[in-house]
Structure 1
Amino acid sequence: MRHLRLLIFMLLALILLPLQASASDFGERVSGMAEVTGVRISSHSDKVRIVVEATKDMAFKKIILSNPDRVVVDLPNAWLSPKARKDLDLDSPFAGRLKVAQFDKQTVRIVVETKVGRNNYNVFKLTGGATACRIVLDFGDISESSDNRKIDLPDGSAQQPEPAYTPPASETDEVEKEMASPDKSERTEEPQDTGKKETEKKNPIKVEETPSGGIFEGSDKDSGDELDKITGLKGRKIAIDAGHGGSDSGAIGPTGVMEKTITLKVATELKNLLVAEGATVYMTRTKDTEVSPKKGRATDIEELQARCDIANAKDADIFISIHMDSFTNAAAKGTTGYYYARGSKKSRELADKIRQGVIDQIGTQSRGTQSCNFYVVKHTDMPATLVELAFISNRAEEKLLYSDAGAKKAAQGILDGIEDYFN
């Protein structure tokens, strides 16, 4: 029996030693390389965005191929996580299929099938924020303004390679070889629509700017011209309103979680992300309190006007009010974006992009982008949106948004929407 046990032990050793050596070799090979951890897709009516996330800063090289038309992006000194999605149908008029693969031991290759003209796609890099590095590929309308947009969609003719790089036939062959593998919750609205425009100026109340006050101004430190050109956030002034607070708990979930708690948690995470991107941030509140100087004695209108006054006094570029939805039916779920019914087109665009960004991050059902008469989006002077992240009355969505991971994802989704809006 002892000889049998010894024989079994020797056989196991012979089997496991190569596996341990292989694991050790792999660890040494990828040491110092960027790990490509995931790929996110965001589809809109005017463009599709692909975001490739990695653990370290990395360079990229763009290659243009034809017959069929493809945009290829190589990421040197990188390895692809087994968890990352590798073959996706983009289901967009601007791009067809996306494939991601380990092209060689040190290169991750991204291939996007597309027929848009050379003026209707862009590849750029984002660094900082929650993810160390993101490579972004936009296809469709990449202009700074959505006015008079024109999407160059060829009639099927092969796209000519850009002069920057023309790959040899052998590389084209390598590409093919490798890649063959309910009702909304109650919000305070106006008794009647007075028809005031977003550009109207109010008489703002005085805003106290103290370390413990309800307003926070983000860091003005220089984050670099490169970041400014890429994200459009450096120097942007963004007002974030964490809904409810103090004596106003907002809606309460089935396990007792209060809306005011979730909105402040997400707003704080969003502030940190925005400051890291170079934006200046104004918070209507940074703790569990009312915003109006009258505190709990303020009327609903006085409290909401105080939130608007902070954004208006600082001449913010955009205003975002964060909320959780609620309904008597616990099965109600999803994310909704709201904008003032008689406001600007920019407000609708902001609401739509933030709603989509949140959905892409936390995986909730879309309840669309809707017009409204909510006070805070009507009485702010800049493009404004109120986003209902999810339903606090839904046990699963309450748990998701109350968790630290869920709050961070929701904040990242709002950031993605903001970046999309300004780009």
Structure 2
Amino acid sequence: MILRLIMMMAAVFMILLQPACAGASAFGDKVANLAEIKNIRVGITSERVRIVVDADKEVDYSTMVLSNPGRVVVDLSGAWLSPGAVRSQTIDSTFASKVRAAQFDKTTVRIVIETDAKKGGFDVFSVEGGPSPYRVVMDFGKISAGEKAEPKKPAAEPKNEEESEVKTGETEKETEPVKEKETPAKTEEKKEEVNIPEENPDEIEEPEFSGLKGKKICIDPGHGGEDPGAIGPSGITEKSITLKIGKEVKRLLEEAGAKVIMTRTTDTEVSPKHKQATDVDELQARCDVANKAKADAFVSIHMDSFSSRSANGTTGYYYIKGSASSRRLAAAIQKNLVKQISTESRGVKTCNFYVVKHTNMPATLIEVAFVSNPKEEKRLYSDAGAKKAAIGIVQGISDFFDK
């Protein structure tokens, strides 16, 4: 009798469970057909703010501009917002002050950027490949003529922007902006053939460097591992150029008597968390390498990128609240790089980049050249170009310690 009762109860339980299972399956199928918005990243330079939305598949998007207060709204249709994606980020820039994300409805993710578009303009475009299968990129700031955005696809009747925040019921999470590099926008122009005269690196004269003996220098080749950084027109990644230059810098410094600490010497992440590391985890790991070694100077090597392939030149950055020593280091390296690799000088600028903010010694982040510029991409990836860049960096470090 008891056994029969147990069997009857089990049967009733299975009947009650079936609709729930069917509902869960239907929900899973529905989500599987939507693009997952995995992450929203923010990058800042003195000339623009770049917001990158990572998705696992292609999404359609529409844009609209709202005023009082100024906002740009980007609706991603056929998408759902991953629980792990950051919902809100404060942006320390004159071009944008905040970005928010929310699940507006069952199939639409809404991105709201608080910005005064009149201060520089904006551009929205999509990119495939690189660190994620599909990305929607939003640039705010100095957009060259012809690049200021119009809505890429006609927007439906504007939905109530505030409603998106109410629907999520999420608490905003603040994160510190992290400098980010992305693939240049796809264009309809034909790929140009770039011919750079080949140089023999062995014929490039290496100067005598002074003031470096006994100095501890931390060299940080930007990006690495799962993060390629920016990707040039021919497919060369920023991470490969920075590592190539970084290794050459190490050789020259050691020959001059310096002790060199590299944040990475291979194509890998620096954080022990590797692929599971957040952007901040990875950047802090680079700072930790320099701080634990009590380095006398920290130099982070990067390549710049922009949607226009004509953008070019070399820039030195130091923390906006940093020391006069950091400014001198940035200026010395930037000046010598321009001289060695014959690039346009884009000057020395302040920034809020994580690695120069959280290191305890004179620190600079150097944008050697533009990987998005076909000529600079090819030149800096060549053995001769990497050697010249390294000479410029080491000469700058030498000048810094000599004064």
Normalising by structure 1, we get a TM-score of: 0.46
Normalising by structure 2, we get a TM-score of: 0.48
